[in-house]
Amino acid sequence: MRAEAPPEAPPPSYVPSFGGFVAGHARAGRLVVQPRMGFGSPEAMRRGLLAVRDADACAAGTITLDSYTRVGAHDRAARALATGADLNGYPLVAHTVQATLAVVDGVVGDGFPVQVRHGSALPSAIVRTALRCGLTATEGGPVSYCLPYSRVPLADAIGDWRTTCELLARTPGAHLESFGGCMLGQLCPPSLPVALSVLEGLFFRWHGLRSVSLSYAQQTNHDQDAEAVAALRLLAEEFLGDLDWHVVLYTYMGVFPRTARGAAALLEESVRLAVATRAERLILKTRAEATRIPTIEDNVVALEEAHAAALRLPEPRRPAPGPDVVRGTEVYREARTLLECVLDLSDDIGAAFVSAFSRGYLDVPYCLHPDNRNRARTFLDRDGRLRWASVGRMPLEPPPRVQDGSGTAPESTELLRMLHWVRERFDNAPSGPRK
């Protein structure tokens, strides 16, 4: 005879506003830093959150979920817990609500909100559980957590994300971050991830969200990244100006430097980019990324170093570029073209996504998901800027011929060089490059 599960405790009557927390620090000129951290056991997860809360940094907390929970294999996560096996994140659905409430009790508050990061194409069960635990901030998106991480049909992901958004929209203080600006960021010219981030923001708004964030992942050239964040900010003002929104920047998500010196230089470069572009939040990696799973201590060191660097760096010497300047950049022009093309397909943004990918009007290079055409190709120019070698059927100007041959679609050897370009650049620089 099965023992009855104990009754679940009700969620907290009050939860802090993630968007409000970030906005308050932005008004005071402070950059919010955040780790990507998750542990299988409630005890370790609580220790991690407490360490982040108590770090000498302006930090938000993170509960990153494990790979089983990401794909809905909650039974396998439960078996792993029962056998004491290591998990690469927190199995939110496999744990009882009481266990998670005990993790966050006395930790989460106005001065320390926590975001659930999951990586799931079908996140509604995860979000339902998170909300029962008083965790109202999460991230992802119907495209950005479907195409790179699953084989779930895009239409199915969109349906589940519609349910997820509606769950969040009924929750006071809920916040949802688009992962669209991180789509294979190390191989994708920035106009496409910028457009996807804004489009997912529009999807969130369409289904009732009022507090959102738009992402962008640091890529291969500081100046191009700065143009991309400026374009993202202007497009957010133009398309999402009625919402509470902010920009979240990610430290480079590709192959990380192996040396401590190179990793530290890349981390500081991401802080420099966040300060220069006035991004409100920065999600960090650690110096250990290339060699092992970071510990709690690794994450705290990264947070404190980033916080100190943000305080040390001077305010941007030049004022933010004006709208007319931003509208003249290649990133803005291409991203706006993609946005308008998708929005012209249907009044329902979910249907527009499906149509755009089926026609190749949106096409993520090197992404093997069955619903992605995978005709677009890219290359790194001599300055380390990501360029289109082929635009497939996207409504963009075909790339001009490059006389030295660097504009051709890369073969496997060149593709590997592109993937390792940032690692080699930072590992081999005497004191870390500053472009």
User: Domain locations in the chain?
Assistant: 18-312
Q: For strand 377-380 and strand 386-390, is the pairing parallel, antiparallel, or unpaired?
A: antiparallel
Q: Which amino acid is at 79?
A: R
Phi-psi domain of 284 (left: phi exceeds 0; alpha: psi -120 through 50; beta: other): beta
**Spatial distance between the Cα atoms of 272 and 17, rounded to a whole number of angstroms:** 27
pTM comes to: 0.93
Per-residue pLDDT tens listing for the chain (435 residues): 333 444 444 455 455 699 999 999 999 999 999 999 999 999 999 999 999 999 999 999 999 999 999 999 999 999 999 999 989 999 999 999 999 999 999 999 889 999 999 999 999 999 999 999 999 999 999 999 999 989 999 999 999 999 999 999 999 999 999 999 998 777 899 999 999 999 999 999 999 999 999 999 999 999 999 999 999 999 999 999 999 999 999 999 988 999 989 999 999 999 999 999 999 999 999 988 888 889 999 999 999 999 999 999 876 666 788 999 999 999 999 999 999 999 999 999 999 999 999 999 999 999 999 999 999 999 999 899 999 999 999 999 988 765 445 556 667 788 888 888 999 999 998 764 554
**Spatial distance between the Cα atoms of 49 and 113, rounded to a whole number of angstroms:** 10
Alpha helices in 241-312 (DSSP H): 260-277, 296-312
Write out the H or E segment, with its range, that includes residue 389: strand 386-390
- Check whether domain 18-312 has CATH 3.30.479.30, yes or no: no
